[in-house]
């Protein structure tokens, strides 16, 4: 399995600011993903972070709000831009190696927007 | 659009009781099925997965799940739960050939009383 770390583990932010979340995998992976888990709800896929190209966003999520970078095969960032209280969620990074056909998840970043 | 439904939101059992958590999905094609578990304070971990073959799948820690195609179900079972099984359980589905996009159910919180 892959070990995934995220920074920060939690943060409290003011409305209108932006936060960048980092995701580091301990080995090269083919695919990386970002999910959101809103309070009391399930995980929802935000986007697939593509190495060397623009991320692929799911319906309801846009690049201006959630810009994503993936400069190499082990690292990705998600920025939550112009935050509002509705963005308060846990944001999770996951990674997949094609040969494993399963995703490994990071510990998540708990974001509270005031 | 695909969706996943977990019927039990909160389950309370005594130790040694048997467990069955329901999971149904809506998609007419071939799917891959997963159960993830999140222990308190820990990240999501894969319990078991089904891609093809024997519809009865055995996972870690004595868990198993049965894929019933005609019922679009993938219920999780354990014959005798332990206090350490207290956790949140998520059923997830991906469309075959697109393992990246996981669609999660709402989750079931299992509380096992010692």
Q: For A49-89, write each residue's pLDDT tens digit.
A: 988 888 999 999 999 999 999 999 999 999 999 999 999 99
A103 neighbourhood in chain B, CB within 8 Å: 46, 99-100, 102
Q: Which pLDDT score, from 0 to 100, does residue A1 have?
A: 67
- What is the least distance, in Å, from the CA of B33 to any CA of chain A? 10
Q: Which residues in chain B have Cβ-Cβ distances shorter than 8 Å to A43? A: 90, 102, 104
Strands B108-113 and B10-14: parallel
Distances (CA, A) of A10 to A6, A28, B60: 10, 25, 30
In chain B, whose CA is at the least distance from the CA of A109? Answer: B43
pLDDT at res. A29: 86
- Which residues make beta-bridge pairs with A110? A10, A90
Closest residue to B102, CB basis, from A41, A45, A107: A45
Looking at the predicted structure, is the pLDDT value of residue A32 above 90? yes
Which residue in B44, B53, B89, B97 has the most chain A C-beta atoms within 10 A of its own C-beta, making it the best mutation to test that interface? B44
Phi and psi, residue B62, nearest 5°: 80, 5
Residue B95, pLDDT score: 83
* Alpha carbon of B104: minimum distance to chain A alpha carbons (Å): 6
pLDDT in tens, B7-17: 889 999 999 99
**Model pLDDT, residue A53:** 84
Q: Is A68 on the interface with B (CB under 8 A)?
A: no
The contacts of residue A90 (CB under 8 Å, 6+ apart) are A36, A37, A108, A109, A110, A111
Q: How far is CA A48 from CA A77, A106, A109, B99, B108, in A?
A: 11, 15, 17, 12, 26
Contact A102 B105 (CB under 8 A): no
Q: Do A41 and B100 touch (CB under 8 A)?
A: no
Question: DSSP assignment, residue A87?
Answer: G
Which residues on chain A are in Cβ contact (under 8 Å) with B43? 4, 92, 105-108
Look at residue B83 and give its three-state secondary structure: helix
Say what the pLDDT of residue A65 is.
97
Within 8 A by CB and 6+ apart from A3, the residues are A25, A26, A104
Contact at CB, A102 and B51, closer than 8 angstroms:
no
Report the 10 Å Cβ neighbour count for A77: 18
For residue B74, the tally of other CB atoms under 10 A from its CB is 29
Q: Residue B91 — very low, low, confident or very high, per pLDDT cuts 50/70/90?
A: very high
Question: Considering only alpha carbons, which residue of chain B is nearest residue A101?
Answer: B99
Whether residue A105 and residue B99 make contact (CB cut-off 8 A), yes or no, is no
Phi and psi (nearest 5°) for A86?
-70, -15
Answer yes or no: do B100 and A43 touch at CB < 8 A. no
For the sheet containing A68-72, what is the strand order?
A: A4-7, A19-25, A75-80, A68-72
CA dist., res. A29 & res. A72, Å (int): 10
Contact A42 B107 (CB under 8 A): yes
Q: What percent of chain A has pLDDT over 90?
A: 78
Helix (H, G, I), strand (E, B) or coil at B61: helix
**Segment (H or E) for B112:** strand B108-113
């Amino acid at each position: 399995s892959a070990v995934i770390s995220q920074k920060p583990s939690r943060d409290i932010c003011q409305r209108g600011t932006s936060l960048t979340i980092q995701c580091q995998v301990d080995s090269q992976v083919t695919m990386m993903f970002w999910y959101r888990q809103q309070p009391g709800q399930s995980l929802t896929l935000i986007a697939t972070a593509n190495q060397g190209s623009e991320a692929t966003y799911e319906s309801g999520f846009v690049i201006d709000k959630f810009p994503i970078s993936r400069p190499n095969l082990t690292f990705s960032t998600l920025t939550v831009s112009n935050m509002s209280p509705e963005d308060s969620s846990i944001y999770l990074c996951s990674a997949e190696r094609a040969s494993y056909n399963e995703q490994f998840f990071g510990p998540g970043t708990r974001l509270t927007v005031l | 659009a695909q969706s996943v439904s977990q019927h039990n939101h909160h389950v309370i059992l005594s130790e040694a009781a048997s467990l069955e958590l329901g999971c149904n999905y809506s998609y007419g094609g071939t799917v891959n099925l997963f159960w993830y578990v999140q222990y308190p304070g820990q990240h999501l971990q894969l319990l078991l997965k089904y891609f093809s073959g024997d519809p009865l799948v055995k996972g870690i820690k004595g868990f198993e799940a049965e894929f019933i195609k005609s019922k679009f179900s993938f219920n999780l079972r354990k014959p005798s739960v332990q206090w350490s099984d207290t956790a949140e359980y998520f059923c997830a589905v991906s469309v075959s050939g697109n393992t990246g996009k996981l669609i999660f159910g709402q989750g079931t919180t299992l509380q096992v009383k010692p």
